[in-house]
Amino acid sequence: MKLHEYQSKRIFAEHGIPIPKGEVATSSDEAREIARKLGGPVVIKSQVLVGGRGKAGGVKVAKNVDEAEELADQILGMDIKGLTVDKVLIDEAADIREEIYLGVVIDRALQKPVVIASAEGGVEIEEVAKTNPEAIKRLPIDLPVGLMDYHARNLAYDLGLRRVFVNQFIRIVKGLYQSFIDTDASLAEINPLVIIEGEKLLAVDGKIVLDDSALYRHPELVELRDIQEETSSEREARLAGLSYVKLDGEIGCMVNGAGLAMATMDIVKYYGGAPANFLDIGGGAKSDKVAAALRIILSDSKVKGILFNIFGGITRCDEVARGILEALNAVPTDVPMVARLVGTNEEEGRQILAQANFPSASSLGEAAQKAVNLAKGA
């Protein structure tokens, strides 16, 4: 789950990181009022859950209240990478001298959080990684030890920061790391962290991505979820208790179990197809869940065939077979499908499907090949 810039920066501020004064507006009148209260130039920032808002025209500096109102009016309602802007953050504008990148992510290979910093901030860090990898400094953190002052100090020297910034930088790195730990984040990022007049550091942008698997520990963060930023299929999947990730292929996959879902995607690829999604309907799924999953898969217009791969354990194959047929009544479609059911009550399950003329396969390889061929119209 992604947090908005304004939400992320509030969490950063609670951890001692300096951020600009600012407030969120949903109308240009409100934006004007906030700009008036702040006094002086302000920056109008679209609050949408994508990066590169600046380049897309979603971040603009206003010199006075009139301009603030006008720019807010322009940015509200704007479409940025498919998302409609319905909120803007009005921040005191910073007089930026230099831009630094600072982030914390999990390094899966090292099994540790790693602080990443670059003196080439502002632009996307992936870009710096391509064009100038030397400019990216990495500081892996040993979890039991944590982040010590001297780690952050060394990082500051590594970046070539001048002395006057070092102590501020240490505070900010520690605050960012603590924000990351306290929220169970998978990413906490300040880009850019800027140098402003008076030799001060300031976090003008902020981004936190929470680990969904740890959300149950943070009811207060779950409340920050912006429903409007979820696609309708993602929302439906979450409400139905399904793990769903949309992909770009044409074979919809409905599977029980995450590992089996991955194996199914692999085998679809092996036989020349491409999976349209990852979807784990979970153990013991009943027909309503199957119907919800089918609706979600079919809402993707690129899907040309659907592969059901069910391993019956707690989930009974006959229950799933009935679920598939009930779901098809509820969600009629011409998209061809094939099912492979094995495990508990598989015979019964297959019979139910056969009576309804629903194609099935006995092995996963056969099922995947059939699905790929059906999708090709063969």
The CB-of-248 to ligand GDP minimum distance in angstroms stands at: 24
**Tokens (6 digits) for 142:** 């040993």
**Tokens (6 digits) for 120:** 């080439």
CA 274 – CA 318 distance, rounded (Å)? 28
Which does residue 96 bind out of ligand GDP, Mn ion, none, counting CB within 5 to 8 angstroms by kind? ligand GDP
CB 261 within 8 A of CB 253: yes
The CB-of-104 to ligand GDP minimum distance in angstroms stands at: 17
- Nearest Cα to 264, choosing from 324, 273, 144? 273
**Tokens (6 digits) for 174:** 């520690």
Which does residue 52 bind out of Mn ion, ligand GDP, none, counting CB within 5 to 8 angstroms by kind? ligand GDP
- Nearer to Mn ion by Cβ, of 191 and 345: the residue is 191
Which does residue 61 bind out of ligand GDP, Mn ion, none, counting CB within 5 to 8 angstroms by kind? ligand GDP
- Nearer to ligand GDP by Cβ, of 204 and 324: the residue is 204
H-run or E-run covering 167: helix 163-182
CB 116 within 8 A of CB 103: yes
**Tokens (6 digits) for 90:** 């009005």
The CB-of-205 to Mn ion minimum distance in angstroms stands at: 4
Question: Hunting for tokens 């707690």 — which residue is that?
Answer: 314
Which does residue 319 bind out of Mn ion, ligand GDP, none, counting CB within 5 to 8 angstroms by kind? none
CA 231 – CA 250 distance, rounded (Å)? 19
The CB-of-208 to ligand GDP minimum distance in angstroms stands at: 14
The one catalytic residue in 5, 6, 30, 101 is: 101
**Tokens (6 digits) for 102:** 């600072």
The one catalytic residue in 189, 229, 250, 319 is: 189
- Nearer to ligand GDP by Cβ, of 84 and 363: the residue is 84
Which does residue 304 bind out of ligand GDP, Mn ion, none, counting CB within 5 to 8 angstroms by kind? none
134 is catalytic: no
- Nearer to Mn ion by Cβ, of 69 and 205: the residue is 205
Alpha carbon 340 to its chain centroid, in Å, reads 32
What residues make contact with ligand GDP under the rule CB under 6 A? 43, 45, 51-54, 59, 61, 91, 93-94, 96, 99, 122, 191-192, 204-205
- Nearer to ligand GDP by Cβ, of 22 and 175: the residue is 22
CA 67 – CA 44 distance, rounded (Å)? 10
With CB atoms as reference, the residue minimizing the distance to Mn ion is 205
CA 205 – CA 192 distance, rounded (Å)? 6
With CB atoms as reference, the residue minimizing the distance to ligand GDP is 54
**In the chain, what is the straight-line distance between the N-terminal and C-terminal CA atoms, in Å?**
40
- Nearer to Mn ion by Cβ, of 187 and 263: the residue is 187
The DSSP line for 171-211 is HHHHHHHHHHHHTTEEEEEEEEEEEETTTEEEE---EEEE-
- Nearer to ligand GDP by Cβ, of 34 and 237: the residue is 34
The torsion of the CA quartet 27, 236, 184, 204, rounded to 10 degrees, works out to -20
Which does residue 323 bind out of ligand GDP, Mn ion, none, counting CB within 5 to 8 angstroms by kind? none
The torsion of the CA quartet 182, 186, 191, 193, rounded to 10 degrees, works out to 30
What residues make contact with Mn ion under the rule CB under 5 A? 191, 205
101 is catalytic: yes
Burial of 17 (0-12, 13-18, 19+ CB in 10 A): buried
The CB-of-2 to ligand GDP minimum distance in angstroms stands at: 12
CB 180 within 8 A of CB 188: yes
Q: Which amino acid is at 57?
A: G
The CB-of-43 to ligand GDP minimum distance in angstroms stands at: 4
The CB-of-85 to Mn ion minimum distance in angstroms stands at: 16
Which does residue 359 bind out of Mn ion, ligand GDP, none, counting CB within 5 to 8 angstroms by kind? none
Active site residues: 101, 189
